[in-house]
Every structure is written in C-alpha cells, then in structure tokens.
Amino acid sequence: ALVDERLDEAKENLESAVREDPMLEEAWDMYAQLVGGWTKLGPPVSEREREKMLEAGEAIYTRAIAHDQGYVLYRLHRGIMRNHIARCRFRRGEDPFEYVARADQDFAQASIISSRMPPPWCLRGVGWAEAARFRLARNEDPSKEVAAAIGHSETALRVCTGEYFDARVTIAAERVA
C-alpha cells in the first residue's frame, strides 16, 4: 500500500501490525514517520496541518516507547519531531520552548540508554543552537541556550573520540577503589 501511495491503507496496515506485535520497531518507526509527515508522500499541507501531523507522529512514538523503553531510536526520532513542532510554533509566533525542552528530555534519555552513541549529544547541541536562534529573533538573551549547545556538542565530540567513555570508566573505577 505504501509503495502505491495508498497512505490511509498503509497507516491502517501499520497500526494493525504494531497492535498485533508491539515489538516491531521498524513498523512503529514507519508508522510514526508516515503519520507525522516525514515522508515525501501525500499532498502539500499548511504549516498548521504539518504541526498537527507532527503531533500525531509524536503520539505514535510515545506509544512505541511505552512498549519498548530501551529502543533508543524512538526517543531520538520523537525528539526530532518535537524540535520540528517547536519550529512550527516559532514560525507562527508562538512559544517554542516547551517543545525544545521536551526534545531535550528525549535526547537526554537516549544518551542514558546508549551513552557511547554520539547522536543524542549531537541532537541536543543542534536543538539548543536552534533555541538560541529563537531567543535572538525575539531580541532575548540566548546565553543559556548557547552554553547548552556548546556543552552538548563538546560531549558529542568526546564520545566520538572515546574520551567520554574513558572518563566514565575512570570515574567508576575510582568509586570502587
């Protein structure tokens, strides 16, 4: 159904699949992305309709997380959707920071689940950099957001080079000794 762009049928099939087997990670992911408007399929939509689609995709990821709290991609993808929602709200002149914070919570949880993966830290840095741009556009002080963006980006670099993991192992070893 998806290949033929029968989107309603594809959504129903994916909903049925995850209802029958809630551990189908790829089905949850495709379902959330399809409903959330991440695919290039379907007609163009307004900014408000796009936000509603993203919120529906976010809700599907929330359901998926309830079934499998250890699957890091659900949190990463829900966090990315939340950042997209923040952008939509910002463009309409609404407060984006609730969704910036929610996205950061997802990325923080992902970094706990998989501390040796750089993407959660990278995404936290990108999210806070965008939040700083939101502050600047409102003629507000972005210092807090800039500091968070730099800190998370530096952590991502340390994770990539192995320094972060080595530091955590050293700290853990010192606590035991």
Nearest alpha-carbon partner for 107 in 140, 131, 134, 135: 131
Mapped onto helix, strand or coil, the DSSP state of residue 161 is helix
The mean pLDDT of 77-83, rounded to a whole number, is 96
Q: Mind listing the pLDDT tens digit for each residue in 9-36?
A: 888 888 888 999 888 889 999 899 989 8
Mapped onto helix, strand or coil, the DSSP state of residue 117 is coil
- What is the Cα–Cα distance from 170 to 66, expressed in whole angstroms? 34
Q: Mind listing the pLDDT tens digit for each residue in 49-71?
A: 999 999 999 999 999 999 999 99
Q: For residue 175, what pLDDT is reported?
A: 45
Q: How many CB atoms lie within 10 A of CB 73?
A: 16
